[in-house]
Amino acid sequence: MNSLFDVRDKVVLITGGSRGIGEMLARAFVDSGAVVLISSRKAEACQALADELSANGRCESLPFDLSTTAGIDGLVAAIDRRGGGLDVLINNAGATWGAPLESFPESGWDKTFDLNLKAPFFLTQKLLPALRRAVGADRPARVINIASIDGIAPPAFDSFAYSASKAGMLMLTRHMAKALAPENILVNAIAPGFFATRMTDATLEEIGEDVLRKTPLGRLGRPDDIGGVAIFLASRSSAFLTGATIPCDGGLSTAG
């Protein structure tokens, strides 16, 4: 049974990997024996976490700003220089912007969509050679897109670009899954609910009690919750699953 969830020695790239859910995922995969590559815009934070995690496993820092084409190309070139294949790509880097409907700025819309939807598409596209090199007999490569329950149901706050981009991520997951299935590259998504991260701090301070009241399991997400789902999607146990979205939200979007 343990071999079903074995990710030892798999090469895993996590974008937005230096904090928040990305950091939770990085810790889970390092602890499980994977070779973890973390990328984020802030080089110092990225290197600091890689140094910390390398004390007990294998983690490398590859800092790039994925909201730009140059940043995407730089990360792809860095992966190519490492050689070998890429077993798992986790598209986690994201941004949000809040403003009333009447005054929502174009700059906020573009920033959110560039990082949340455009970057995952083009990064996946350009890393296909590395993913293809990892594919073997009964060994599919994986793309795991980190979406949000805000892409499933409208949120209670004015983050129009965020919810729209995450809804787009769900369809992009299904579309890429169909296109890449013949190559044995599996594409699935996780839709997290509320976890305590820097991105959600202000929201939880404002509506945290209401969130807990509406969440059937009555608590926020924990690192092991999101880490466990990601390891499932990266391991042999999910080898017959593609195009799926798994909510990881304590039942908020499905049973709340």
**pLDDT surpassing 70 at residue 1:** no
> 110 to each of 67, 68, 93, 164, 189, how far by Cα in Å?
10, 11, 15, 12, 22
Render pLDDT for 11-21 as a digit per residue (tens, 0 to 9).
999 999 999 99
One-letter identity of residue 145:
N
Q: Of 160, 162, 195, 232, which is the active-site residue?
A: 162
162 counts as catalytic: yes
Q: pTM for the whole thing?
A: 0.95
3-state secondary structure the chain: CHHHHCCCCCEEEEECCCCHHHHHHHHHHHHCCCEEEEECCCHHHHHHHHHHHHCCCEEEECCCCCCCHHHHHHHHHHHHHHCCCCCEEEECCCCCCCCCHHHCCHHHHHHHHHHHHHHHHHHHHHCHHHHHHHCECCECEEEEEECCHHHCCCCCCCCHHHHHHHHHHHHHHHHHHHHHHHHCEEEEEEEECCECCCCCHHHHHHHHHHHHHHCCCCCCECHHHHHHHHHHHHCHHHCCCCCCEEEECCCCCCCC
Cα–Cα distance, 39 to 30 (Å, whole number): 15
- % residues pLDDT > 70 (the chain): 99
**Residue 45: which pLDDT band, with cuts at 50, 70 and 90?**
very high
Superfamily of domain 2-248: NAD(P)-binding Rossmann-like Domain (3.40.50.720)
Render pLDDT for 130-182 as a digit per residue (tens, 0 to 9).
999 999 989 999 999 999 999 999 988 899 999 999 999 999 999 999 999 99
Cα–Cα distance, 256 to 155 (Å, whole number): 13
- Domain spans in the chain, listed from the N-terminal domain onward: 2-248
